[in-house]
Structure 1
């Protein structure tokens, strides 16, 4: 019996953790029912390497942007630069971008500037914005609202682990919340409660591999195949059969990542 199909909406297949066995990693994902993966470029100078992975492996799509923790160290992206990259047929999202004040609060201003550039690129391309948010809930909610009022765009709060106010703000704007392995950690009761109150049609699943492996692999290298373990926790959370939960997250992913949904291998 084949496993229900799901999508790892956020991973980092270009990271050196995977260099020795990238084809095997992707094969294991397919065996686990993870039939699509979005690999994320976090520094635009690395975009060619990330693009090459998507071009080499049919199940892999990619997105690119400047991670907020790198915003001060990397050249500031331009809207035109991101729009040009988005012309690639397997480029399906803008980011990851966002705000991270946990380690890099000193670069707050440039993070906000970078975030607004990425939002404008998401508007112009009609591709979803991929948001990283950490210890910046108030600024993040405010900016997302301000920018949405200035012109609509789609968005996923990747690896959502913030508070209920930011979750509500995102859902009220029509955005999506993505469950990572953090939601499966035994002590993540409050986070699971936030997800349980969210609309099921706004939930995605991801690994953020090689980080944040869910149980029973916690503390080890994460990989896209493990999306299935987080998704099983999600199914329990929503009181659904795993196959039904998987199907709903597929529908959600297709609604947001329309370019990936429309992809047909040549």
Structure 2
């Protein structure tokens, strides 16, 4: 019934608990999950999950915040995305959060390496006709600008994709929707401090919305502060159902249909 459109089951917090997690998913009626790649070094492990389990799929990409890892070329992304059960390019995008503290005092101008990496992912997605999984944090203006500059406008040549774990404003959501992208909400939506984000979730059309855990991070209430896993994604759906005055089954049906529409081939 439910789909977790973004999780990191290859991460050490979850990798050793897969039988337990899969049983919990079954009990929670979470029947599919998209396993997200964040480095090329990690790709084989992520892809192996999708090949081993018939309700998991994979992506290929290098997270914008990862340094000291293999830099992806266009050829790398195109080649790896052709493997079975790889349905998207990413996680990619821009991350300027706490840039000065974490990046040794660098400025936005110094982050050109991130922007060039993002452009390569966009071009790969367009070439292979698979959607992008977008991460943007403290960088929404540049994220939208680069997508536009690379021709992501919702037209036939666009890759499209999803802004995952959305935490931006309604204005950014409108910009993403105008470019043909989907918006995915995580357990942050359930946090007491997230009223502004709930207002955004009430605005985003149901036919452009996904749900996710981003596990092992961001566990929803009532598990906030604990290790997250895909079996908790119904709590995100429940929050959306309350906001939209819908039955949770309606949210599950809509977000699952959206997942299938966006990630072609990711059907159970």
Please tell me the TM-score bracket, short chain as reference. over 0.9
Is 1:178 paired with 2:184?
A: yes
Is 1:65 paired with 2:61?
A: yes
Measure, in 1, the Cα distance between the counterparts of 2:188 and 2:160: 24
Instruction: Name 1:202's counterpart in structure 2.
Output: 208
Instruction: Name 2:89's counterpart in structure 1.
Output: 94
Measure, in 1, the Cα distance between the counterparts of 2:234 and 2:250: 13
Measure, in 2, the Cα distance between the counterparts of 1:164 and 1:73: 34
Measure, in 1, the Cα distance between the counterparts of 2:178 and 2:121: 21
Secondary structure of 1:170's aligned partner: helix
Measure, in 1, the Cα distance between the counterparts of 2:22 and 2:214: 14
Instruction: Give the Å deviation of 1:75.
Output: 2.6
Q: Give per-residue Cα distances to partners, 1:231-264, cap 9 Å, x unaligned.
A: 1101111221111111011111111011213x6x
Q: Give per-residue Cα distances to partners, 1:45-94, cap 9 Å, x unaligned.
A: 11111111111222111112110001x42232111111111122211110
Measure, in 2, the Cα distance between the counterparts of 1:113 and 1:53: 29
Measure, in 2, the Cα distance between the counterparts of 1:174 and 1:238: 22
Instruction: Name 2:75's counterpart in structure 1.
Output: 80
Q: Which of 146, 160, 166 is equivalent to 2:166?
A: 160
Instruction: Give the Å deviation of 1:157.
Output: 0.3
Q: Which of 103, 115, 119 is equivalent to 2:118?
A: 115
Secondary structure of 2:265's aligned partner: helix
TM-score (norm 1): 0.93
Q: Give per-residue Cα distances to partners, 1:2-46, cap 9 Å, x unaligned.
A: xxx011000000010113321221221122111000111101111
Measure, in 2, the Cα distance between the counterparts of 1:45 and 1:158: 22
Measure, in 2, the Cα distance between the counterparts of 1:125 and 1:241: 37
Measure, in 1, the Cα distance between the counterparts of 2:124 and 2:243: 35
Following superposition of structure 1 onto structure 2, how do residues 123-162 of structure 1 map, counting pairs within 5 Å? 123-147=126-150, 148-149=152-153, 151-162=157-168
Q: Which of 28, 32, 51 is equivalent to 1:36?
A: 32
Instruction: Name 2:246's counterpart in structure 1.
Output: 240
Measure, in 2, the Cα distance between the counterparts of 1:248 and 1:51: 27
Is 1:230 paired with 2:248?
A: no
Q: Residues 99 and 108 of structure 1 are in contact (CA less than 8 Å); yes or no, is this contact kept in structure 2?
A: no
Instruction: Name 2:195's counterpart in structure 1.
Output: 189
Instruction: Name 1:10's counterpart in structure 2.
Output: 6
Q: Residues 25 and 223 of structure 1 are in contact (CA less than 8 Å); yes or no, is this contact kept in structure 2?
A: yes
Structure 1, unpaired ranges of 5+: none
The list of structure 1 runs, each at least 4 consecutive aligned residues, that deviate by more than 6 angstroms after superposition, is: none
Q: Residues 164 and 194 of structure 1 are in contact (CA less than 8 Å); yes or no, is this contact kept in structure 2?
A: yes
- Greater CA drift, 104-113 or 222-231: 104-113
RMSD: 1.4
TM-score (norm 2): 0.92
Measure, in 1, the Cα distance between the counterparts of 2:160 and 2:169: 20
Instruction: Give the Å deviation of 1:109.
Output: 0.6
Secondary structure of 1:55's aligned partner: helix
